[in-house]
Structure 1
Amino acid sequence: MKKIISFLFICTFILGYSQQKELTIEDAVLGYYKGLYPASLTSLQWVENSTNYIFQKENEFVFTDAKTNKIVKKITLEALQKQYLTLKKLPRLQEINSSSLTFRNGNSIEVFNYITNSKSNTITFDEHANNSEFNSKAKAIAYTIDNNLFIANATNPKIAVTKIEDKNIVSGQAIHRSEFGIVKGTFWSPEGNYLAFYQKDETNVSDYPLVDINTYPATLKNIKYPMAGQGSEMAKIGIFNLKTQSTIYLDIDTSDEHYLTNLSWTPDEKHVLVAEINRGQNHVWYNSYSVETGKKVTTLFEETSDKWTEPEFDAVFLPKSTTNFLWFSERGGFMNLYQYTTEGKLVKQLTKFNWVVTEILGFDASAKNVFITGTGVDARESHTFKVNLKTGKYTKLTAENGTHYTQLSSNGTYLIDSYSNLNTPRKTSIITTKKGKSTVIYTAENPLKEYNLGTTEFVTLKGNDGTDLYTRIIKPANFDASKKYPVLIYVYGGPHAQMVTNSWLGGASLWMTAFSTLEDYIIFTLDNRGSANRGFAFESIIHRNLGDAEIEDQLTGVDYLKSLNYVDSNRIAVNGWSYGGFMTTSLMLRNPGVFTTAVAGGPVIDWKYYEVMYGERYMDTPQENPEGYEKTKVANYIKDLDGKMLIIHGSVDPVVVPQHSMTLLQEAVKQKTQIDFFTYPMHEHNVRGVDRVHLVTKMMNYIVENNK
């Protein structure tokens, strides 16, 4: 075999030896609702401005001192119901500090003083509100109704920030289809005196028709969908002054359809910082704008790339500073932190890791250290580190191998650390950030201990270019190395996703573990080049040629499987959704004879039908890269189908629109090629809820019936 296989480690998790219970597909798919994923402390979080943490236990909130690990207070549902008669269960907390907790109750935001057991504040807003964001300093909530933005405070439930009748203009919502790390459309200033908001004009964006079959007769539902190479949205940023009740807009001309992202306030509320990205997504200007005038003050710095630039994080200002901030950048090959001033001076590169920084958690009280999360040296893991702001020296605070999710206390003294790995369902600890001392506060039981299941293993392969490729193999219960097993390759393979992680089940969905034992299958997954958390070179190799490097790496995985004596090389199937659907169809059609069966859900078939923001980043426009678009067009290969292929699509998918699958079916008819198709009526990009049992059952039945 040409590929060199490197076993960096094989970590085997024995889920069970002699258990008698059978894990069904239905139970596995609905596992979260049936207690088959590891339990945790519900609503666990720090109490702001204290070293207490809080979690929900049955019908009460429990406060615990992190230093002594002793319970210091409880708030019962009954106590809350005395003040809030309509409250049926413990609410989801939006904020919690040393004297009060804030939560939503119907169409109001409630602030409850738990020291005096009394209502502190109530803000009522319109019952039709969406995209709500409360700010304790402003004592107000921003929200949207349809395409307009409003604010509610204690005296007025509906202050109109925008009154725009043109349905093409949308205010206060996430823009640019939530790319560039955008998750919302409103941004309160540090002291709550202003509200910045995104606005988009979709006049240039084409309508895309979706059909609601649940009306009599069926009705048209148009959505705005900017396809690659076509008209896109024009963005604006508004600043609403709560005192004067007036709005100004930043003086930015976006008639060229460039992007406005990573909006940040300076701590003194005098400036807004905005990352502006050209539509070609290879040039970033980080600009400062005056809140008073809306005019640009300066360009702090620029970043360019011959592939793409993709800022995804807001500026994080150093404590007690209105001028110095930390900025995430991949300019050196890995996502690291750089310190800048608001005048555009690069103070220094703070971190110089050859691995990926993923988040800033906060700072300690002395402002000497910043706490971050990142992969560490093993990209399959996630850890927390303390980094000295002056020297850049760092200390790893999470000791155990695995995937850690941490929260930092307000003063930076303690971490809540919840982690899992192949051998650990979930363990939660309190870690002191000064010395790294860890105290376990919760250990989850193995929820699968009574089930007869197999093993999950990690294997590292070498790609054709020498790159490490991380894989996961699930083997059935009662595995016998002298037998020959069929294989299902589950693939995603696209940007911003990682399938193989050192976490519970190795990052796999529970249905894969169930299917492996129910049908005596090997389930195999490989994170190819282009996937997340491996650095820019690994991730950007796909530029303008989606599918090429990914397929090459997946075939390295196939070669490895064929080298195993217990694999039936003539019975290999492939399955994936979305980008994984693109990979599944591409693998099946561009490599005839390798796979017997393919099941692709919501597949991208032709990248010119995909959205501007994502598609043009990786492929440029169809006009700029016609050869790349033509090569990646899955329908071009339908005549080469050798085996059975099922395409599945939600009938109202607004992400990978149904046109993708329809064009593949059209070409199949033209080429006289028989393929199978199933649609989920009125489902969007994913089939969720109880209907997902139907989906997974259909996919698995199709694979078992045809992978022969």
Structure 2
Amino acid sequence: MRQIKNLWIVMFFIMISTPALSQQKQTVTLEHIFKKGAFNQRSVYGINWMKDGQYYSSLVRDGQYPKVVKINLATGQTEATLLDGEVLDVDFSSYSLSADETKALIASNVEPIYRRSSKGIFHVVDLGSKEKTVLMEGEKISYATLSPDNTKVAFVKDNNLYYTELSTNTTTQVTLDGENNKIINGSADWVYEEEFSMAQAFSWSPDGNKLAFIRFDETEVPEFNMQIWGDLYPEDYVFKYPKAGEKNAEVSIHVFQLDNKKTVKMDAGQETDIYLPRIYWTGDDNTLAFLRLNRLQNQLDLFHANSQSGSSSIILSETADTYVDMDYNDNLHYLQDNKGFIRTSEQDGFKHIYHHDSNGKQLRQITSGPWEVTELVGVDEKSNKIYFTSTEKSPLERHLYVVNLNGKNKQLLTPASGTNRANMSKDYKYFINYHSTANSPTQVTLNQANGKEIKVLEDNKELIERLTEFKLSAKEFFQFPTVDGTMLNAYMIKPADFDESKSYPTLMYVYGGPGSQNVTNAWGGLRDFWHHHLAALGYIVVCVDNRGTGARGRDFKHITYANLGKHETDDQIAGARYLGDLPYVDKDRIGIWGWSYGGYMSSLAIMLGHDVFKTAIAVAPVTTWRYYDSIYTERYLQTPQLNASGYDDNSPINHVDKLQGNYLLIHGTGDDNVHFQNSVDLVDALIKADKQFETFYYPNRSHGISGGNTSWHLYNMMTDFIKEKL
């Protein structure tokens, strides 16, 4: 497979450097991207490692119905079909296997709620007899989860927690007080789901006899009202949304004992204005671990609680002058036999792996250096090895490493340049690797634990061959110094027929939010191909990761603390000035566009940098942080009561008088995340300032502004605006 990929790269660069050849190629059109799906890549989905270590299962779609197949690791061949949607007469979209692999849980008719939440119809399938049992008589439920002892399924319905005994198909309602926009049991509220990357908020104990869950009392959280358009009278959609400085839900952690049907509240301290974003069973059926963050998120405490009495103690605390980075990858792993736990922290300035004993005492720092651990992939306790991905080779890349628990004998397992994501087997003998570069799509391989490739599972050969039919230029990476001398990472996409003696209009693409990263040596997806379409029209496209973005350590990321927008905008303006000094960039025709935080950035850029930016597009932008949610905003800005200037000094609403160029503002009216209110108030401010601009709204569309013909329409409109105004 490496030979195939390397051959394509050679062909790719021959294509770029040979004008006569490239003239015979097709140019990238919007039809190719959004109508024909010409650049969609394939992957391998639904991987579940099986208990004997010799097989894994995978979800595939063969015709109309899905299947779950069992694949031999040694041969890479399919040996059996575990689930057949056609036989079951269920068009399921996801599945999970019980611990003993005698049962499967399948989900169908799944409908999204918000970004991570959903509900659907769940069946339990006996893998021997193929008999299926529908849960809750086919009503839609959320987060159905098999118990470790394979006898029960827990789930959430209508804000209450339930479980079903599989042997009798009897259902027990664990909580009774669930109520819309008031009390939530076992699933996250809106702001936890969005900002703590969680939706399910319950967990089975290892013995399957207890259910730990988080309860949200959002009675006093202010409501946000969105109108849904389409009927004779618009419908009001009301949900709880705590904006910066406003009341959050009061959150508590409880454990339900199945044997006596009693619920015990865990002691999280007297303060109620806190966050409780994670629960973990330590491996001990009687000990529940949980995290507590204070409101300003500059102190993180790890608790151990007695699940029967509720008594608890803090075993570890971490504080920061800015904020403590909570690990959304859940890089907390409890070791067996009371040997403590493994976690990651950026306490030394870069995110690294630490080993603590069961009382929280730090035993050792396992990794160190001026680079970041990005994911704790697995801990092989039998061999005392830890597998992790990091940025050690480059902040632009991700590679898999293995290191001994004592921090010695660190080895690189994925040496090829690019970005890797690994899925380790339960016995740590194999991993499935997803590898791509900026100029080559994802290759999925089955590998031994030492990195040796066994089999190519997906090579995207058809896409690779199709790419050779188009006039494309490679994404080029470069660096430049910003205003304080810090070197920033960037990439550039040039027209395929680029001539350095010519002067090109240039469009910058920005996101720029805290800890984010756009400049990576990884396959970019459909938005990249829109940029290639613009390149085919004669534009250079550039992306700069400003200060405040991720993968370069705590100081680089936290410099924007308490003053969002300032350094980021300075860096984008510095990037435009740098580009304007290049001989092949027309400094009078530089534009910028972005979405969400990127829309916030592009708005600030054209207002504060009106002397360098001619044109800007802002899609679904935050226009004042006072309108955004509490968890995200206060993490980086504190509360508006404590830091009013941090909220107002760099809000686009307060800089409308500086707008001089071409500005297009786009928003979905059904955006539950960055509310349409942001754009409404910006429009009002622009009108008061007597500024001309263009705006477009998408009825009922959410933050992603998608569905049906929407993406096609959106990118056509943005393309036309760029052609006319840049």
| TM-score in terms of structure 1 length | 0.91
* Alignment correspondent of 1:161: 174
SS for the counterpart of 2:360 is: coil
Deviation at 1:118, TM superposition (A): 2.3
- Identify the range of structure 1 (555-564 vs 586-595) with the bigger mean alpha-carbon deviation: 555-564
Query: Shift of residue 640 of structure 1?
Result: 1.2
**Could you tell me how far apart the structure 1 residues matched to 2:98 and 2:491 are?**
40
Correspondence list, 1:400-479, <5 A: 400-433=416-449, 435-442=450-457, 443-445=459-461, 446=464, 447-479=466-498
Aligned pair partner of 1:305 in 320, 341, 356: 320
Report the Cα distance in structure 2 between the residues aligned to 1:304 and 1:634, rounded to whole angstroms.
32
Inter-partner Cα distance in structure 1 for 2:468 and 2:241: 47
Whole-Å Cα distance in 1 between the matches of residues 45 and 314 of structure 2? 44
What's 1:521 paired with? 539
CA distance in 1, matches of 2:347, 2:203: 27
Which amino acid in the other structure matches residue 348 of structure 1? R
Cα shift readout 1:84-113 (whole Å, capped 9, x = no counterpart)? 2x235x763323878556241543333443
| Structure-2 residue corresponding to 1:703 | 722
Shift of 1:203: 2.0
Distance 2:479 2:173 in 1: 56
Are the structure 2 counterparts of residues 171 and 487 from structure 1 closer, same or farther at C-alpha, using a change threshold of 3 Å? same
Q: Is the 8 A contact 2:254 2:264 kept in 1?
A: yes
1:75 corresponds to 2:81: yes
- Alignment correspondent of 2:73: 66
- Deviation string for 1:243-298 (max 9, x for gaps)? 333322212356541111232111012111122111011112221111011121x2
Inter-CA distance 12–701: structure 2 relative to 1 (3 Å threshold): farther
Which residue of 331, 353, 370 corresponds with 2:369? 353
Letter in 1 for 2:521: N
Match of 1:170 in 2: 184
Task: Report if aligned partners of 2:122, 2:141 keep a CA contact under 8 Å in 1.
Answer: no
Q: Do the aligned partners of residues 559 and 439 (structure 1) sit closer, same or farther apart at CA in structure 2, a change above 3 Å counting?
A: farther
Give runs of aligned pairs for residues 261-272 of structure 1, distance below 5 A: 261-272=277-288
- Whether the aligned pair in 2 keeps the contact of 1:457 and 1:472 (CA below 8 Å) is yes
Q: Which structure 1 segments of 5+ residues have no match?
A: 1-10
Deviation at 1:157, TM superposition (A): 5.3
2:725 counterpart letter in structure 1: N
Identify which of 33, 46, 50 aligns with 1:47: 50
Matched, 1:143 2:148: no
Instruction: Check if 1:535 corresponds to 2:553.
Output: yes
Aligned counterparts, 1:63-142, within 5 A: 63-67=70-74, 69-71=75-77, 73-75=79-81, 81-82=86-87, 84=88, 86-88=89-91, 92-95=94-97, 100=102, 102-104=104-106, 106=108, 107-113=121-127, 117-119=128-130, 122=133, 124-125=135-136, 126-142=138-154
Per-residue Cα deviation, 1:524-575 (whole angstroms, up to 9, x for no partner): 1011111122211111000111111111221232122112211111111111
Check conservation: 1:456, 1:506, Cα contact below 8 A. no
Whether the 8 Å contact between 2:671 and 2:701 is mirrored in structure 1 is yes
One-letter amino acid matched to 1:307: T
Q: Report the Cα offset of residue 507 of structure 1.
A: 9.4
Match of 2:541, as an amino acid?
Answer: I
Q: Aligned runs of 1:566-645 on 2, under 5 Å?
A: 566-645=584-663
Instruction: Give the match's secondary structure for 2:156.
Output: strand
Q: Which residue of 2 aligns with 1:396?
A: 412
Indicate the residue corresponding to 2:6 in structure 1: none
Map of 2:357 onto structure 1: 341
**Local SS of the residue matching 1:53:** strand
Moved more, 609-618 or 632-641: 632-641
Residue aligning to 2:566: 548
Shift of 1:51: 2.6
Matches within 5 A, 1:194-213: 194-213=210-229
Structure 2 residue identity aligned to 1:108:
F
Is 1:27 the counterpart of 2:32? The answer is yes
Contact 1:493-1:550 within 8 A present in 2 as well: yes
TM-score normalized by the length of structure 2: 0.89
Alpha-carbon distance in structure 2 between the residues aligned to 1:429 and 1:534: 29
Measured on the aligned residues, the alpha-carbon RMSD in Å equals: 2.6
**Given residue 28 of structure 1, which amino acid in structure 2 is its aligned partner?**
I
Residue 182 of structure 1: how far off its partner (Å): 3.2
Q: Distance in 2 between matches of 1:52 and 1:624?
A: 56
> 2:305 maps to what in 1?
289
Q: 1:375 aligns with which of 391, 411, 435?
A: 391
Identity %: 30
Counterpart contact for 1:381–1:401, Cα < 8 Å: yes
Identify which range, 118-127 or 530-539, moves more after superposition: 118-127
For residues 423 and 630 of structure 1, the distance between their equivalents in structure 2, rounded to whole angstroms, comes to 41
Query: How many Å apart are 1:302 and its aligned residue?
Result: 1.2
> Could you say what secondary structure the match of 1:490 adopts?
strand
Residue of structure 2 in register with 1:4 after alignment: none
Q: Give the CA deviation at 1:477.
A: 2.1
SS state at 2:574 partner: helix
CA distance in 1, matches of 2:240, 2:390: 36
Structure-1 residue corresponding to 2:347: 331
Rounded to whole Å, the distance in 1 between the matches of 2:440 and 2:374 is 23
Tell me if the contact between 1:421 and 1:506 (Cα under 8 Å) persists in the aligned partners: no
Alpha-carbon distance between aligned partners in 2 of 1:440 and 1:661, rounded to the nearest angstrom: 50
Q: Name the SS of the counterpart of 1:286 in structure 2.
A: strand
Using the alignment, how far apart are the partners of 1:377 and 1:254 within structure 2? 45
Q: Which amino acid aligns with 1:24?
A: T
- Do 1:138 and 1:191's aligned partners in 2 also have CA atoms closer than 8 Å? no
Letter aligned with residue 94 of structure 2: R
Distance in 2, Cα, partners of 1:164 & 1:97: 32
Q: Shift of the alpha carbon at 1:80? A: 6.3
Q: CA deviation at 1:220?
A: 1.9
Measure the CA separation in 2 of the matches of 1:308 and 1:235.
Answer: 21
Cα distance, 1:507–1:372 mapped onto 2, change above 3 Å: farther
Q: Distance in 2 between matches of 1:224 and 1:254?
A: 24
In structure 2, distance between residues paired with 1:271 and 1:641: 58
Cα–Cα, structure 1 residues 76 and 198, in superposed 2: closer, same or farther, change >3 Å? closer
* Higher RCO, Cα 8 Å, sep 6+: 1
**Letter matched to residue 450 of structure 1:** E
- Report the more deviating stretch, 357-366 or 385-394: 357-366
Task: Single out whichever of 143-152 and 520-529 deviates more from structure 2.
Answer: 143-152
1:237 equivalenced with 2:237 (yes/no):
no
Contact 1:51 1:409 (8 Å CA) reproduced: no
**Mapped partners of 2:254, 2:35: distance in 1:** 43
8 Å CA contact retained: 1:429, 1:441: yes
1:660 to 653, 663, 678: 678
Task: Confirm whether residue 36 of structure 1 aligns to residue 52 of structure 2.
Answer: no
Q: Residue 160 of structure 2 contacts residue 186 of structure 2 at CA under 8 Å; is this kept in 1?
A: yes
Aligned partners of 2:638, 2:93: CA distance in 1, in Å? 46
Q: Residues 156 and 63 (structure 1 numbering): CA distance in 2 closer, same or farther, change over 3 Å?
A: closer
